[in-house]
Copies of this chain bind each other. A is one copy, B any other.
Amino acid sequence: MGTRRPGTPTLEEVAAHAGVGRGTVSRVINNAAGVKESTRRAVQQAIEELGYVPNLAARSLAGQRSNAVALVLTEPDWRMFAEPFFSEIVRSLGDALADIGMQLMLTLVRSDIDRKRFLEYARGSRVDGVLLLSVRAGDRLPDMLAEARLPTVMLGRRSRDEYVSYVDADNVGGARSAVSHLVSRGRRTIATITGPLDMDAAQCRLRGYQDALALAGLDSEQSLVAEGDFTQESGRLAMTDLLARHPGIDGVLAASDTTAAGALQALRAAGRRVPQDVAVIGFDDFPLAQRTRPRLTTVRQPLEEMGRAMIRLLLEDMEEPSVAYRHVILRTALVVREST
């Protein structure tokens, strides 16, 4: 806790104990070069003996940096937490930061009061930067952060004309390649179950779907498009509707692996064989999809790289404040699991 517990030694005490100056101890604990090996060892022993732990508040104050980055989750995302997509991203971010000696701290915001509170917190020099996950289209938090000149990077842009720095997957390209793949396999009546269309990623994937159909000279009927919300249930319902409207459907692009799983349920309930009768391709490539029989072909997003890219952008934003925003779109990969 904050109150200096008796027995919490300071850097100065370590210095005295080791018989060196404070600067030397500081150099040792920061792994700075230019310290004789013998002194370094003496200092390390003193640290050991005293059980010294640097006071991070003092370090932040003196060093003008907190070595911490906040990851903000807005309420609608909470459920994502349980999904591999999320944990993979968090893992990636945490690792990338740990590599450079920084801490990741999660913050949940649900109300505007929370947003304000967080903004105050971030502006209070407690974090060096802010990361945001799949922000809703109308959320102003990124703008507020940018206005406060806090390095900010989002995963997924809010809209086509996003300006705040972001990393995103090539949603259009991913969807296009998936649908083109289906076409090349002879599928002709291809439907899509989208994500919530107020999300840019969902829109882009729909666009990719339409592009691919146009490219193949197939016409894209509105009735082949059903809006879902990334959940399994929505996939099931959407697929049921689609089948009712177009019994001849032989291919489906789903917004996510979860949605694809729902679609699968509906297809089976309707007696369709997968992939013989209907081929299903979902975005994301997770246990659900991998365990499924048949193993689905998926559009894989490079989550690990997306996390690393976010950190890279953040660091660049910190070091070169003259650049207003940076955008990086990563390539997706089509993982073909079965002949579809």
Q: Per-residue CB proximity of A166-177 to B under 8 Å, as 1/0? A: 000000000000
Query: Are B65 and A55 in touch, CB under 8 angstroms?
Result: no
A125 interface neighbour in B2, B79, B129, B149, Cβ under 8 Å: B2
CB–CB B57/A125 < 8 A: yes
Q: Is the CB of A1 within 8 A of B108?
A: no
A4 contacts partner chain B, Cβ-Cβ < 8 Å:
yes
A1 close to B53 (CB less than 8 A): no
Is B150 a contact partner of A56 (Cβ separation < 8 A)? no
Q: Is the CB of B106 within 8 A of A65?
A: no
Residue A232 CB within 8 A of the other chain: no
Within 8 Å CB of A38, what residues of B? Answer: none
The reply on A110 being an interface residue by CB < 8 A is: yes
Query: Given B4, B64, B125, which contacts A56 in the complex, CB threshold below 8 Å?
Result: B125
Quote the shortest CB–CB distance from A325 to chain B (angstroms).
16
Smallest CB–CB gap between A53 and chain B, Å?
Answer: 4
Least Cβ–Cβ distance between A16 and chain B, in angstroms: 21
Question: A90 interface residue, CB < 8 Å from B?
Answer: yes
| Alpha-carbon distance A208/B236, docked complex (angstroms) | 40
A1's closest neighbor in chain B, by CB?
B128
A60 at the interface (CB under 8 A from B): yes
Q: A57-B66, A91-B110 known; A103 and B82 CB under 8 Å?
A: no
Q: Is A275 an interface residue (CB 8 A)?
A: no
Interface residues of A (CB under 8 A from B): 1-5, 53-61, 63-68, 78-83, 87, 90-91, 94, 98, 103, 105-108, 110, 114, 117, 120-121, 123-129, 149-151, 318
Q: Which residue of B lies closest to A119 (CB)?
A: B53
Known: A82-B82, A107-B106, A110-B91. A5 touches B66 (CB 8 A): no
Is there contact, CB below 8 Å, between B61 and A128?
no
| Bound-state Cα–Cα, A68 to B118, Å | 12
| Contact between B120 and A108, CB atoms less than 8 A apart | no
Nearest B residue to A90 by beta-carbon distance? B108
27 A-B pairs within 8 Å (CB atoms) are namely: A1-B65, A1-B66, A1-B127, A2-B60, A2-B128, A3-B318, A4-B125, A54-B124, A55-B125, A56-B121, A56-B124, A56-B125, A56-B126, A57-B57, A57-B60, A57-B125, A60-B60, A68-B126, A78-B87, A79-B81, A80-B82, A81-B82, A82-B82, A94-B108, A94-B114, A103-B117, A105-B105
Q: Report yes or no: A79 in contact with B82, Cβ–Cβ below 8 A.
A: yes
Partner of A61, one of B57, B83, B126: B57
Report the separation of the CA atoms of residues A129 and B67 in the bound assembly, to the nearest whole angstrom. Answer: 20
A128 to B54, CA, bound (A): 15
**Are B53 and A129 in touch, CB under 8 angstroms?**
no
Cβ contacts under 8 Å, A125 to chain B:
1-2, 4, 55-57
User: Chain B residue with minimal CB distance to A87?
Assistant: B78
Q: Report Cα–Cα, A226/B117, bound state, in Å.
A: 46
Complex Cα gap A4–B60 (Å): 11
Task: Provide the bound-state CA to CA distance between A123 and B51, in Å.
Answer: 11
Q: Which of A1, A128, A129, A149 has the largest count of B CB atoms less than 10 A from its CB?
A: A1
Which residues on the B side are within 8 Å of A81 (C-beta)? 78-79, 81-82
Contacts of A68 in B (CB 8 A): 126
